Amino acid sequence: MTARQPRAEPVQPSLLSGFPAAEPPPSGPRPASSLPVARVCVESPLPQLDRPFDYLVTEELDAAAVPGVRVKVRVAGREHVGFLLERLGSSDSGVRLSPLGAVLSPLPVLAPEIAELARAVAERWAGALGDVLRFAVPPRAARVEAEFAARGDDVAVPASPAHDAAQPGDAVGPPAAGAKNAAGPEQVPGGWDRLHNGAAYLRHLAAGGSPRAVLQAVHGYGPDAWPHTIARAVVAARSSGRGALVVVPDRRDLLRVHSALEAALPGERIVRLSAEDGPSTRSRGFLELLSGAAHVAVGTRGAAFAPVRDLGLVVCWDDGDDLHIEPRAPYFHAREVLLLRSEQTGCALLLAGHAVSVEAERLVESGWLHRVAAERSVLRAAVPRVTSTADSVESARDPLARIARLPHTAWQVAREALAIGPVLVQVARAGYAPSLACGRCREPARCRHCAGPLAEQASGRERLVVCRWCGTPELAFSCRVCGGKSLRRTAIGALRTAEELGRAFPGALVVTSSGDAVKSELEGGPALVVATVGAEPVAPDGYAAALLLDGDALLRRESLRAPEEALRRWLNAAALVRSASEGGRVVITAGEGEAVAALVRWDPAGFAGRELALRRELALPPAVRIAAVTGAMADVEAFLAAAQDVLAHPGVRVAGPVEGDPAQALVFFPIASGPAVTRGLHGVRVALAARRTGGPVTLRVDAPDLL
């Protein structure tokens, strides 16, 4: 038998039996007592991350985590830098929130007004908010931020003034100390008194109003040059106690406008915003604007997002220049950003240039912009006399004028003008001979290594044939088509032109401005100045004459905008020439066409109006909007299939996709349907990227180079 087990003692049941055990106190970070949720936009190129994420604000970061600061967060296990957009009392995400990683800087560098503008830009171009903020806020310069933090400068920006912007007749704050001389804008040079509606525009602006206009500038040099015209408008805005922002295409224009603004507003800080100035200089200027230490800024396209306080005026110079287009996502145009900003804040707007873009003309015809331009009687006295070698009179005098690169009329004008001043010679291409062909069959000459185009370069007195792609010298050319050994020049560059003019005008000083050796200003007396389009230096007293060569090369560009772009380039060069009353002459060598006729008449607005009417008839931009979907053919087709609901909007039509590297499809849609279509296309791109069902596609909206 087995031994009997001892009997267990009875156990008294607990009075708490059946109740759950108390949970241990939470071991994680304690949330902030007020508004514990931070909504963050992360900087990432992935479309699926283009949405705000909610994070928990801990007690340790409560004071530093204010809207506008840079933060570090984790998304899908990886650390990302982003901007804190707002603080909320609760989150609607439905998941447990991860804590905010870190606050990288205590300075709120993203102003509410700029955050609102960035959202509008992202929606306008179907892009990601993070990509826009990369341009809106310059890279962090820790040393500069530490200086501002040590000084205790207030960079906290008030709420967006979109709903309480100054209106005509409203009371405004007093002008800054540097603007004490701004009350009388007529004291500042600029030529506004000779422009129709010019004086009224300045009076409206100085009274605190917000007029919007297209300005056709006349002069490119002297005291009435366009930089002084813009400076006078800025002075009027400052006299009402408001700030101003000027956006220009390139650094040469930036330096001219900056100098004019410093002369017009003595003693006032003028901030210059350009990526070429380096991160520290750009960050310091950005923080000065953000803190209110400066109220006037001038810069290139990225400056369209400058956080100018109490903004009263935005100016875009030469809005047709393609340098205003950002080549990276979301591919915005500075002019359109300023249009959005003017609508958002209620500030004044000025689109200025020697030419008038078709987009600006559409806004004038709609009544959204007013025209400020010189009367015909003023133009006849202020601009040079323009002669086309293709007209009937010149053709009768010189039957070879249509085919000669330097017709007799152009040579004679240059010879006479050199006696009284410098002569500008505008050419289409830089280099010596940038394009070569086989001398026997005329086939374009190609590199035997990479199949790139061959070009002739000048190296001292030697002429070298090299590949423009890989730079490999070609010492023994042999045509791949016919086996020919000789080469012929199919295009002449600035250096070759300068060499030929030096022989045609012995004893004359020849100056070149092209490529990497662009000159901003001309020094000395009479000279032949050979410059590529857009690289013309400014003569302090104006050029005595200008020869606009290679006009047909500009007009033959495979672009819908080739005539518009050619006219813009010609007008910019012709504006540097003295008036006809002072003997100024301009000779254009190009075939007959609307652009040439508009230059002879000096009628950029009329040309833009005719181009706009033609685009409306053909349903082409800017009469409609356009989006390009590019990528592998299968991916573009998958995108279009997924976007069928979007493409079903009334008036939407699709061209393509067309095979290529990459393949491309164009989507045309009405302006009125723009927000719905761009929002829908962006949503399709995000959805496909999140599902990872195919390769990536690029979405570009309203890019001028698509047609």
> Please, which pLDDT band fits residue 485 given cuts at 50, 70 and 90?
confident
Contact 40, 53 (CB under 8 A): yes
For residue 427, list its beta bridge partners: 532
In angstroms, the CA 474 to CA 349 distance is 53
Tell me what the mean pLDDT of segment 377-394 comes to.
Answer: 85
What does the pLDDT look like over 444-465, one tens digit per residue? 888 888 888 888 877 666 678 8
* 97 token code pair: 């929130």
Contact 414, 547 (CB under 8 A): yes
Residues 6+ apart with CB under 8 A from 172: 166, 208, 240, 241, 242
Q: Is the peptide bond before 704 cis (omega within 30 degrees of 0)?
A: no
316 is in an annotated binding site: no
Question: Which run of H or of E encompasses 208?
Answer: none
What does the pLDDT look like over 546-578, one tens digit per residue? 999 988 888 988 889 999 999 999 999 999 999
450 is in an annotated binding site: yes
CA distance readout (Å), 589 to 219, 390, 422, 586, 602: 22, 7, 19, 10, 16
What does the pLDDT look like over 494-522, one tens digit per residue? 777 777 787 888 888 888 888 778 888 98
In angstroms, the CA 619 to CA 694 distance is 32
In angstroms, the CA 482 to CA 505 distance is 39
347 is in an annotated binding site: no
Is 50 exceeded by the pLDDT of residue 182? Answer: no
Question: Which run of H or of E encompasses 88?
Answer: strand 78-88
41 is in an annotated binding site: no
Contact 299, 272 (CB under 8 A): yes
pTM of the model: 0.86
The per-residue pLDDT for 643 is 93
Residues of the chain above pLDDT 70, percent: 87
What does the pLDDT look like over 645-675, one tens digit per residue? 999 999 999 998 998 888 999 999 999 999 9
